[in-house]
Structure 1
Amino acid sequence: MVRTLSESIKTALTIAGSDCSGGAGIQADLKTFAANGVYGMSVITALTAQNTTGVYGIKNTEPEFVKKQIDCVFTDIRPDSVKIGMAGSSETIDVISQVLAFYSAKNIVVDPVMVSTAGTKLLDRDSVSVLTKKLFPLATLVTPNIPEAEIICGLKITKPADMEKAAAFIYEVFGCSVLIKGGHLTKTADDFLLTEGKEEWLYSERIDNPNTHGTGCTLSSAISANLSLGYSLMESVKNAKAYITGAIKSMMCLGKGSGPLNHLWNINTAR
């Protein structure tokens, strides 16, 4: 078989939960991968019954079946990057960490999904402990928002200096680069990146748009896509932040609650 075009296609894998309303989770990740020019694959860790108004049910995938999905991907189409979102349970997190270590997976972006936008708890305390101890050390980057960073560090974050302290804690304790997302700040949406001892604030305006369902999933998968394309971590974060800013600015309005982003804004704009 002659392979030409396919050899140049970059790939990315998302390991996350399904959002039947399409705004977050696997569905948001796959759309983001496509919009950023990479071939997306998925491993589903949980089914959720949710929409823009909340999460109404969760059914976790059996850990052994999660492993089987990852095996199928890595033994056939090896991903250039891996994004990990909602993991479901401590047993599943343990399996994911073991399998990714076995395959020496590269460019791992961990979005530590702990609480939904609507406030539903998605990860218990034991699972948080396993997540930080088993997956964080494998990660190229972890991307907690402020409430998640508070849980991980045990710190109250109310100002930019607190974000810097939290990032330093995660970097020193778990040995991975960290992006603290500042979307929960009241006046700005600035993010703080700490990588290999280098610190950088990524400044951006706060966009007056209540439709922010799936922003965390979208940002982490956009970073993953850019890593697949060969950009440095710093470049990948900056490119991803520009992409998600455009998706929010698109002002798409769907649903009765906090609606989803327009993941295809850059494609539609180009037409």
Structure 2
Amino acid sequence: MDQVNLEAYLRQQKDLIENEMETRLTELPIPDQLKASMLYSLQAGGKRIRPVLLLASFEAYGTAVEKTLSTAIALEMIHTYSLIHDDLPAMDDDDYRRGQLTNHKKFDEATAILAGDGLLTHSFALIANEPLLTDREKVELTGKIAVASGPLGMVAGQILDMQAENEDISVPLEQLEKIHELKTGELLKFAVYAGAYLGGATEEQLTHLTRFAHYLGLIFQVQDDILDITGIEEALGKPVGSDVNNNKSTYPKLLGLEGAIKQKEIYVEKALASLEQAGAIDSQLKALIDYISNRDH
């Protein structure tokens, strides 16, 4: 897929997700302050990589993408909740996210915490109440997304990341990979798994796709770390060098900038090999590897 077609595809999928997500949240009969806070962060933009990955994985094997929308929206709500909580003073203490005030700066800390809680818990209701999913699919997806986002997944990665801050030496590469496999990779794995599962992929294909998603998550994180050094603040929507200032363990800190770039290239090759084995090398997923690897924000 060429760059023009990829950008058109991403824009189309992003619009689909955002319109559906905004409609569903706006219709909820919840307190105005809570709704405003939840919508504020959901409407702040972003790449929507996770739901787009889910849709692309589904399209590699199936049709009738409508059955995936509730799960894709649930995934983006969980991701957004994690960003709201990451930005809090007790966590990364950030004032800006995607070029605008963070949720707790726009509203207050208590509202931001509750908005995050609301997005997280409502995500499970979206999957459980989706009429286009079978009961078996609802159980499978709810269980998988709970593991990916909870203490065995993203939450574990977040606390390991915090514990790795302010260490006198960088953590070993294997430990750094583990942190990011949990913190970033588990939700990306869920995106790929859920889409392919709903599309009818075989168990063997799902195994190869899980490996593909593992390397894709590492690619995503390496590029994040690189952009924290080389990125442009206007494109990133947050200050450059925040990881350095927070003394976080990163790929450039461990391997140097050139070493981080080379490590990313290793992950790209492994992701492509896994995608080939999954029989999905001709899908949109291949183009998304390049997009995630070379993004500027």
TM-score interval w.r.t. the shorter chain?
A: 0.3 to 0.5
Q: TM-score, normalised by structure 1?
A: 0.36
Looking at secondary structure, tell me which structure has more strand per residue.
1
Q: TM-score, normalised by structure 2?
A: 0.34
Which is greater in Rg?
A: 2
Looking at secondary structure, tell me which structure has more helix per residue.
2
